Structure 1
């Protein structure tokens, strides 16, 4: 299977220090997935690589062939993936605006009927868990239903180095065991969903909202 790890931060400056704390967490996720679930393909999607316009226009709203190439390429990756790992800091008790902005450029039909894992982090003691609560609703609306286990990394600067390995005094295998509960659920649900999609195309059972907001209206 193929999984995408979305790194939902674009802040690449100091203060705060260290900058791009989420990159450490994302690299740790990649290392865990590669080491323990190496039979699957995993790719990082960094929001910093997608400098999106201030004025919002989703990928599907462009005429065919007119969307920015980077958005079309990412749309293909999202559609071909079997699950997602969403890595986010916490802003005002909510998920990263950069992550929400990037994901909102794509229709839910690309994400639907696939599982996701919520990973949050912070420089403080809570590990972004308040943002994770809101992410459940957000990701459910996208259709990539979050698995029950979540990952929270408090004081991430003291847990992981820049390359994603554990800091001195931290037990990397114990952290990966903790990560593994969520990732194992992701793999299980991903396998089940992929097998069923091969038998029954869900988009033929439940109509996608592709043309007009009124498609969501009650009779």
Structure 2
């Protein structure tokens, strides 16, 4: 792409002591290798979101603006009880339009499954929101043993190969969908 596209990296956890901080640090450090993307890290803990769906609330509007500016997304999600977090579901469900006609990739983590069960459920949610999910993902089994507090990964070769493949596919879909949305806004399809 001639100009960098806006890639939003979204935290999927809000827990204290979350491993998500380490995984996002690793991801952001690696995304420097992909200058075609202008990265915006979105941490739900940086927003004072109301308990209900108060549309017009300034923090919801601020989050909507950040999501709306993104051309593509990477969701960094843990797996809790064979699914993704309530905090992530809440953020996804607040909005419809910012996700439409945009690609979504996943970096997941958890126990032995590496968070892949959470990703499979997220694919269903994003299909309903008219987003395109990237088949390739990066997953970490037992990341607490592999990532230090600075986001340095031991034995990174497999993760880097998976990331390179995922980013190549994310970039392809981003280009295709940016072009399609600029030709004809998705919100106008079948309206």
TM-score of the two chains, using structure 1 as the length reference: 0.79
Q: Which residue of 1 aligns with 2:105?
A: 117
Check whether the contact 1:83–1:144 (CA below 8 A) recurs between aligned residues: no
- Distance in 2 of aligned mates of 1:145 and 1:157: 30
Alignment: residue pair count? 187
- Distance in 1 of aligned mates of 2:93 and 2:186: 22
Counterpart check, 1:57 vs 2:53: yes
- Distance in 2 of aligned mates of 1:4 and 1:188: 16
Unaligned runs of 5+ in 2: none
Q: Which residue of 2 aligns with 1:16?
A: none
Report the 3-state secondary structure (helix = DSSP H, G, I; strand = E; otherwise coil) of the residue aligned with 1:44. strand
* Residue 173 of structure 1, CA deviation: 4.5
* Residue 146 of structure 1, CA deviation: 0.7
Q: Which residue of 1 aligns with 2:152?
A: 165
Check whether the contact 2:99–2:129 (CA below 8 A) recurs between aligned residues: yes
* Residue 189 of structure 1, CA deviation: 0.3
Unaligned runs of 5+ in 1: 13-18, 208-219
Two-structure CA RMSD over aligned residues (Å): 1.6
Q: Which residue of 2 aligns with 1:104?
A: 93
Q: Please, which of 68, 73, 81 is the counterpart of residue 57 of structure 2?
A: 68
- Distance in 2 of aligned mates of 1:102 and 1:155: 25
- Distance in 2 of aligned mates of 1:190 and 1:34: 18
Indicate the structure (1 or 2) with the bigger Cα radius of gyration: 1
Check whether the contact 1:115–1:189 (CA below 8 A) recurs between aligned residues: yes
Counterpart check, 1:4 vs 2:12: no
Deviations 1:168-209 (A, max 9, x none): xx23354222212112111110011111222222222232xx
Alignment of 1:43-192 (within 5 A): 43-54=40-51, 56-57=52-53, 62=55, 67-106=56-95, 108-122=96-110, 124-166=111-153, 170-192=154-176
- Distance in 2 of aligned mates of 1:52 and 1:30: 24
- Distance in 2 of aligned mates of 1:40 and 1:150: 17
Q: Which 4+ stretches in 1 moved above 6 angstroms?
A: none
Q: Which residue of 2 aligns with 1:214?
A: none
TM-aligned CA distance change 1:89 to 1:185, over 3 Å? same
Deviations 1:70-100 (A, max 9, x none): 2212211211211101111112211111111
TM-score of the two chains, using structure 2 as the length reference: 0.90
* Higher strand proportion (structure 1 or 2): 2
Check whether the contact 1:147–1:185 (CA below 8 A) recurs between aligned residues: yes
Check whether the contact 2:114–2:139 (CA below 8 A) recurs between aligned residues: yes
